[in-house]
Amino acid sequence: MNTSVPTEIGSQLITLFAALMLVLQLLLVVQRMLLTSIRLFALQSFCLAAIAAIVAFFHHAPHVYWVAVLTLAGKVLFLPWLLNRLVRRINIVEEVEPLLNAPTAMLVCGGLTLLSYIVARPFIAMLSKLGNNTLAIAITLLLTGFFLMFNRRKAITQVLALLTVENGVMLAAVAFTTYGMPLVVELGIFFDVMVAVMVLGILVYRIRESFASMDTSKLTRLRG
């Protein structure tokens, strides 16, 4: 039996889900409705969980199934539910004033994507089993996530941007090596992000209570 055929199928599936993650990231950059942004993040996290499951199955790395299960439970179910609840509680559903408009933001993201592919190009040969573009997409998620944090003022969107950066880090960990990072490191990152988001959720609510807004630039009023 030719074992290269299943490996090729796995590589194609990983490339497909990684490409979907990139598309969802670009939609997040131009999306202003907070509830829709949360759903886009949940879909992106589902694609990440699918990639982890594919790596675990096709490359015989059963411990990576834990990453898939935790991502599914935490980022696809729990965190979107928590953020949805927070948005409905503070009753602000739209990001109205990004620093850069949608066409300019997409142009910047295009430049960041090109930069990511240039950076990832030397590693293409060693990553052929996991899809040639996986690392480039992971770097793009990282860079565009930081850009999203810079471009938006609403605290909820900045929390989502932080989560997409972490998705990029996890995807890069899978891309760099067939078996990803050691499980203890993956679990540490996962729980750190979960705690950070819950703390940020509390801060978002306090900002809303104090300023009747989620615009983080209003925090400058706290300076003495």
For residue range 149-206, list pLDDT tens digits in order: 888 877 778 788 888 988 888 888 776 655 445 555 555 566 666 666 666 665 565 5
Q: SS3 of 62, please?
A: coil
What's the confidence (pLDDT) of residue 1? 42
| pLDDT interval class at 147 (50, 70, 90) | very high
Q: Determine whether 19 is exposed, middle or buried from the number of CB atoms within 10 Å of its CB (0-12, 13-18, 19+).
A: middle
Domain ranges of the chain: 4-215
Rounded CA-CA distance 99/218 in Å is 15
Rounded CA-CA distance 170/166 in Å is 6
H-assigned helices in 60-154: 64-71, 79-90, 102-120, 134-151
Q: Return the closest-CA partner of residue 146 out of 206, 88, 105.
A: 105
- What is the average pLDDT value for the chain, to the nearest integer? 77
User: With left for phi above 0 and alpha for psi between -120 and 50, is residue 31 left, alpha or beta?
Assistant: beta
pLDDT tens digits for 36-83?
Answer: 899 999 999 999 999 988 888 887 778 778 888 888 988 899 888 888
212: which 2 tokens? 């009747």
Share of the chain above pLDDT 70, in %: 68
Enter the pTM of the model. Answer: 0.81
